[in-house]
Amino acid sequence: MTETVAFLGTGLMGAPMCRNLAISGVQIRAWNRSRSKADAIGHGVEVTDSAVEAAEDASVCIVMLSDGPACRQVLLDDGVAARLASGALLIVMSSISHPEALELAEQAKQMGLRWIDAPVSGGTPAAKAGSLSIMAGGATTDVQAARPLLSPMGRVVHIGPAGTGALTKLINQITVASTIATVAEAILLAEAGGADPARVRDALMGGFAASRILELHGQRMISRDFQPGGPARYQLKDTSAARDVAHGLGLELPMLNLADQLFSDLIAHGGGDLDHSALLIEMRRRNGLET
């Protein structure tokens, strides 16, 4: 593949995603606010000093920034979208809200660009392994055109029209958030009741309670390893966005509301930059236990 792809955002998730794409043979111009993170990717990736420079006349632009406002700032306010080639494919892989995806998709259409919202799930381990779950919303022809670029990063599922990828990511995030809360309660109950939480986890992994969250984040909770893979503040961003969507649809989702409140409290007590598995800390605080 000879076309040059602009890749904007090479942080915890974006860097390994960009690296896997480069290893597959794609020519990439990358930009990140902290240039050193982009410089460290290697594999022939050209690093630019600005997002506009990376996007200049690019026929494909992949965006992996922190949130919707950051995407809007870079794409529209900073003028990146206007510098892409006519008819360029704009693939936003950031976790943005459903309304933000719909609005940006419409803006892209008015500018003569093709749009895909393609958020991911799997965290940094899957990003490094190239095994992310990629939830794509957009026109069928555009998603098919993007598959060769997305496949080195993970498994692509075309959900439906623009916005449905972002909606699916919110659905993923409320499932993750509520499961983390349940696993944290399970670990806390095991510790308080005198059972070895590591052995409890091992037993549960053999039954219906088994899950990726129990496997990975359960171990993080037991080991008290809360170095961020997915920071808690990003989890709250997504649960809050999901609450807004549910409210707009007239839905009452009590588990989502509770998970959102728990993460809000964790962040209010200084845990925003910890991994979202650090919700165990908030559970311990609520029970008057050492945190």
* 128 is known as an active-site residue: no
Pairing status of strand 89-92 against strand 60-63:
parallel
Taking each helix axis from N to C terminus, what angle separates 164-193 and 232-248, rounded to the nearest 10 degrees? 120
Q: Quickly count: other Cβ atoms within 10 Å of residue 125's Cβ.
A: 12
User: Rounded to a whole number, what is the distance in angstroms from the first to the last CA of the chain?
Assistant: 52
Cβ atoms of 126 and 132 within 8 Å: the answer is: yes
Residues 6+ apart with CB under 8 A from 154: 120, 122, 126, 130, 131, 132, 133, 134
For residue 146, give the H/E element and its range.
Answer: helix 140-150
Report the distance separating Cα 288 and Cα 265, nearest Å.
14
Cβ atoms of 198 and 128 within 8 Å: the answer is: no
CA distances from 108 to 76, 102, 233, 247 (A): 9, 10, 28, 27
**Which has the closest alpha carbon to 263: 151, 199, 174?**
174
Instruction: Determine which one of 37, 109, 169, 237 is catalytic.
Output: 169
Q: Which residues are catalytic?
A: 169
